[in-house]
Amino acid sequence: MTIPTEIHREHPCPVEQLLSRTTPGSKLLLTGDEERRMRAGASALARIAAERPVYGLTRGFGPLAEYAADEDPRSQGLALLDHLTAGQGEPLPRDVVRTMVWLRLRGMAKGHSAVGAGVWRTLAAQWNSGLTPVVPQEGSLSASGDLVPLAHAAQAAAGRGWVWCETDGGSRQVPAAEALAAAGLDPVRWDARSALAFANGSGASLARAMHNHVRLSALARAVASATGRLAGLLGCNTEAYADALSAVRGHHGQRVAAAWIREELPAVGSEAGTGGGPSSPPRRLQEPYSLRCAPQVIGAVLDQLAAQGGILAAEAEGCTDNPVLVEDDVLHGGNFHAAPVALASEQHALCVHQIAYLAERQLALVLDPEHNGGQPPLLAEQPGRHSGFAGVQIAATSHLGAVRQRGYPASFTPVPTNLGNQDHVPMALNSANTVAEMLERSWWIVSSLCLAVTRLTHLTGAAKGRGLWRRLAEEWPELTRDRPLAAEVAAEAGRIEAHYSGAAERRGANDDEQEYSRCPA
């Protein structure tokens, strides 16, 4: 058998490429072809609606589709948005909402939604200006699209809700009408068709899943780096990370993960030889699985991310409305059902747990004198007088338990609703929201691990390494006596994620580090 000597790096993540077009400062413009398609679609729909029933335009919504709609399209559209403005809970992160609106605008520009170009331009002008609706994250079934969160966004676009604005003193919520007037922007005048087209899509669950996807990719990269750093400091047998070993199994993700781990090994050995120092006891031939099998675990996650990335990108590129105009015919169906997004998010949950579990076990290993090269228990400066990382490990174990608690599939939880009309629903936004919580806790675990590895660097006098590891070795104060570490773990979690994601705005957090247009109000 011929073993390849080069690793074919994965293609650029399609989800990350899409999200790069939604960052603050990005612009959405309607091309000539798109405008022609939209105008043709709107004209065709008006003609068809004059001849036969069309859902949401001449007929009511949901189980009321057998009843006649309001003769005034604007009243019909506003009634739709009003009854759906029923969300609760904390707001969705602002970057997620920005992506959500972008997804709906992209979908409507294809012409299948039969929405007028004027509505599109008004909404795009708001998006281009950086105004971001305040959207509660709870209340969507993700079945007839993410109706409830999208209705909140539509209300803000019409000047009837709230938007986020940045000020010199931080972020604040302001009435949308006030912000639109101050910015010289027009409110959207929703009619029945445009309101339904905007609300009838998987935009909220898809946007959150896309941001989770990128955060999970960074999490996997961070733990691969920590694995290599730890293995080098401990002077582990590095055969487990050889490309030849991964190549004979044949999984691309494993080869990439092993390569990431190997990147950290030379930086440790360049000054310190075996990372534990000359007095360290010899290592075993085979390490515990949390070190030895890290390429297999992280690689499996990378392969899943590749699969789910394609699914999420396809959803982002498609039309998720109902009804849909295709070749001058209106087709009533269920393109808004977010089952693809829900299942992708549930795979995300499984993958987040695997990475968090691996990191927590590596943290346990580095704190244990049986495995940490003879260093003090819990890496305490003076065991007994000091407790080192005892409290940090207790918290990390709690975080892992919470990650597991939240991993139950959301698609197992629905009940029929909407007078039985929505009798099979995917709960995709519930799943994506939960994955976001799991990721936040997982980054706390990874931060705890990285600080423990840095403490090991200080204790062994090993090379400081490169990039993140050099910064931590130089900037993080040595733990020569016990001190509260809660704030340090949280702060480093954000910095470590930003380092491995390459862009702080992808964090998906409501924090003041993200750059948004200054509030004109």
Query: Which sequence positions are flagged as catalytic?
Result: 55
- Measured from the Cβ of residue 121, the count of other Cβ atoms closer than 10 Å reads 17
Could you write out the DSSP letters of every residue in 422-441? B-S---HHHHHHHHHHHHHH
For residue 88, the surrounding DSSP H or E stretch is: strand 88-91
For residue 91, the surrounding DSSP H or E stretch is: strand 88-91
Could you write out the DSSP letters of every residue in 127-178? HHHT-EE--EEE---SBSBSHHHHHHHHHHHTTSSEEEEEETTEEEEEEHHH
List of residues 6+ apart from 518 with CB closer than 8 A? 165, 166, 167
CA torsion 338-101-312-332 (nearest 10°) is 40
Q: Are 424 and 372 in contact (CB under 8 A)?
A: no
What one-character DSSP code corresponds to residue 59? B
Q: Cα angle at 176 between 22 and 157, to 5 degrees?
A: 55
**How far apart are alpha carbons 99 and 93 in whole angstroms?**
10
Q: List, edge to edge, every strand of the sheet that includes 170-175.
A: 132-133, 162-167, 170-175
Q: How many helices (H) and strands (E) does the chain have?
A: 18, 7
